[in-house]
Amino acid sequence: MAQLEGNLNPFFQAMYRAQTLQFPHKRSSMVSLDSIRRDPRWRDPNLHEVISMLSHPMDPVKSNAAAYLQHLCYENDRIKQDVRQLNGVPILVELLDHPKAEVHRKACGALRNISYGKDHNNKMAIKNCDGIQALVRLLRKSSSMEVKELVTGTLWNLSSHEPLKMMVINHGLQTLTDEIIIPHSGWRRDSVDASKLQSAEWTTVFKNTSGCLRNVSSDGAEARQRLRECEGLVDALLHALQSAVANKDTDNKSVENCVCILRNLSYHVHKEIPGAERFQETHANHLMKAVGTKKPLQDVFQFFFFPWLELLYQPEVVRLYLSLLTCSHNHNTLEAAAGALQNLAAGQWAWSSYIRATVRKEKGLPILVELLRSDEDKVVRAVAIALRNLAMDRRNKDLIGSYALRDLVSNLPCGQQHPAKNLEGDTVVSILNTIHEVITDSPENARMLIQGHAVQKLVAINKSSQSARETKAASHVLQTIWAYKDLRNALNKAGWNKSYFKVYKSNSGKQGSDDITLPLMDKNQGQKITAFSHQNSLPQAGHTHASAVTFHLDVILKGHPLSHVKSGL
């Protein structure tokens, strides 16, 4: 033992002694890097020495070396790159299977810091040595909450890189659901008595895991379908949100993550579910009757039933999203809840018709209209597009025309003069498209639009906007107004002749409105708008605790886009 100790760098000699001496707990916890550095023999070990110590036969040396790497890699991209180039990552991944808790805990902490950041080469290095599988194994076998936090934090980081999302799903989805999401959500598979269900626990490990699943839920149709079909996941997420509403705790990060996951899982259901084309709006009457008779939805479509489908489209979910829109102050949660309703109401199929009617019956339209007055751009945009989808229902269209047109128009710029909110161009286009939907086949709504002095703003946008998309959208509204011949007399008296309602011509020579049923991503794959990015780091010796959120927003059309957390801890 003395001979082994003598071969160590003085730095590790001191750390080893601190580990092996039989100090009482309180005294040994005071041993620190600062006290070690006071040793006159101390010098900084070079990185190669630290990495070599990861393979040392003595476990305390391994754990100390991993802890020191964790410390060195904290917010230091150059060190992370050097660790990767010196082949330190495979050794750390191997240590995740070490039987000693102190060793695999420190190794996982180092990997968490190495995996954080914009350098995806580090993430790929972990993947290339089967690090995702090793992390999931560690999650299954460890009972330590600290280890679970480290594992899920590392997976959250890895899930921010597009090529790794399906790997996380393939190797970890069910484990993350069974080990973290379900237990911490308070939902139980075997509980038939709702009164016995527990409240959600908003732990760090739940936040990490929900952030990871939020990432992977944005990967595409296959990823969405895998999450929808993951046993217990949708149930647990919905229960967690119901718990948040019941306990008036709706502004935390975990709630935001859960709503964003469900928003993503409701995206494009009307296209991605097998056999959806058989249940277009011609079958809507069956659903409307079910709503009136309280008949179970699974009895309505006996040959078209998936457990998760009923969960996503049940009336309780509409009430849940409306409750979040009423009580949450988190703008990301508000955007996601409105986006979920937007998704559920999208498409020309029976379930969308059912949702549009349910939102009206649950008094949801006034809640959405109120949020048009928000100062947060992304909230206004999500709500506007949700109202546009909801307006496809005739009764909704009449109500939105009566109560929302004023707020929609108030958000429009007037020529070069933007309103106090100074909304982004994408949001202005969304509002214009919603107005267009509201007045289509509704001369009465068009009349109210004129009476609300909207024509002046529409003409100003059409004439002087620097955005071709804004000009095009305003032009479509003006054309629809002018098409109602009974309104022309009133327009002419107000000084608006035919020249103000001229047809917009795009550079491509094509005319006509944007497709109102397909999301932009379908028509132009890969074009995504990065609308929000935020980083928040809380330094903790040797740890990284930071997040960056990026929302990919559909800026024009009906299906709500996907959002995901770019990197976790």
- Of the candidate CATH numbers 1.25.10.10, 2.60.130.10, 3.40.470.10, 1.10.3720.10, the domain formed by 44-160 belongs to 1.25.10.10
Beta bridge mates, 529: 553
CA within 13 Å, CB half, 189 = 9
Mean pLDDT, to the nearest integer, of 149-170? 98
183 vs 180: CA distance, rounded Å: 6
In CATH, the architecture of 363-503 is: Alpha Horseshoe (1.25)
% of the chain beyond a pLDDT of 70 = 73
- pLDDT reading at 479 higher than 70: yes
Q: Tens of pLDDT along 78-88? A: 999 999 999 99
Q: Residue 530: enclosing H or E segment and its boundaries? A: strand 529-530
Residue of 475, 487, 501, 493 whose CA lies nearest to 448:
487
CA 425 to CA 126: how far, in whole Å? 40
Place of tokens 């409240």: 199
Indicate the DSSP class of residue 177.
Answer: I
- pLDDT, greater one: 403 or 191: 403
In the chain, CATH 1.25.10.10 covers 44-160, 197-289+301-362, 363-503
In tens, the pLDDT along 272-298 reads 887 776 666 555 555 555 555 555 555
Q: What is the pLDDT of residue 517?
A: 27
Question: Is CATH 1.25.10.10 the right assignment for the domain spanning 197-289+301-362?
Answer: yes
27 vs 359, more confident = 359
CA distance 438 to 434: 6
- Confidence label for 6 from pLDDT (cuts 50, 70 and 90): very low
Span 195-209, pLDDT tens digits: 567 899 999 999 999
The kind and range of the H/E element at 290 are: helix 284-293
Q: Compute the distance between CA of residue 302 and CA of residue 280 in angstroms, rounded to an integer.
A: 16
Tell me the C-alpha distance between 270 and 261, whole Å: 17
Residue 289 is predicted with a pLDDT of: 59
Q: If pLDDT is split at 50, 70 and 90, which confidence band does 348 have?
A: confident
